[in-house]
Amino acid sequence: MKIRTLIVDDEPLARERVRRFLRDEADVAVVGECGDGAEAIEFIKNERPDLVFLDIQMPEKTGFEVVRALDPKTAPTIVFVTAYDQYALQAFDASALDYLLKPFNRERLQRAVTRARELIENRQRGKLDERLASLIADLKTEKKYLERLVVKSVGRVFFLKTDEIDWIEAAGNYLKLHVGRESHLIRETMNAIESRLDPDKFLRIHRSTVVNIDRIKELHPMFSGDYSVILRNGAELTLSRNYRERFLELFENQG
């Protein structure tokens, strides 16, 4: 029996890499590819693949959100794929589920397939994968906010605590993290990063801006209901009227 496999990644080259490596697995049949989380949820519910290679950071919905949307009784076996989210690696490893850290080689993928194959065989014998069920339950009941990011910059990789970030702005397909006098780019969407940051520490003030609340110094009214937000480092941002209510409610409660 073929293992019906879905590849989910927003980068076409990343999907092709997984597909190419899977050609050596005689019992694996790739039945589809998805470029975002929302598409993946729909495909999984309709096509019921046995195995999914699931990227974590994607537009629309992250890999976390895909898993939350699944029914543990019918969910496929998941092999998580990530480029740099160390906190996610730790969470998945603690749940005894496999993951691939980009860039991975053919041998590493083969080990993941071997492990997934054992889980699928157990499921076909009527045994529910309790580890996956446990992970889904945890993701649905416990919200873990992002505490650090792994940033790639000028040939180096380093950890950045989210508390060190002054503000975040959208920059095309990337986000620019402003940290003191420095700035760093990461490939992420504004909606995705906002959902993973602690709302008691970070606040969306514009469709393209998230700010660290502790960095705010002053607030000045402008025209059309907008406000000027002055940070402690002198940076001036705009609070859009579409986000004004949540902002003012937060500071009224603190006062």
Domain ranges of the chain: 3-141, 148-254
CATH number of 3-141: 3.40.50.2300
Phi/psi of residue 114, nearest 5 degrees: -60, -45
Are 43 and 34 contacting, i.e. CB atoms less than 8 angstroms apart? yes
**pTM of the model as a whole:** 0.55
Place of tokens 């700035």: 183
Q: What fold, for 148-254?
A: OB fold (Dihydrolipoamide Acetyltransferase, E2P) (2.40.50)
**Cβ contacts of residue 130 below 8 Å, gap of 6+?**
none
| β-strand pairing of 99-101 with 148-153 | unpaired
pLDDT at site 95: 43
pLDDT along the chain (255 residues), means of 10: 93 93 94 94 94 85 84 84 62 57 88 88 60 59 73 80 95 92 89 85 93 92 86 94 79 57
Strands (E), 71-173: 77-82, 99-101, 148-153, 156-161, 167-171
CATH topology of 3-141 equal to that of 148-254? no
Residue 239's alpha-carbon distances to 65, 156, 218, 222, in angstroms, are: 28, 34, 12, 9
List, edge to edge, every strand of the sheet that includes 202-206. 182-186, 174-179, 167-171, 209-212, 202-206
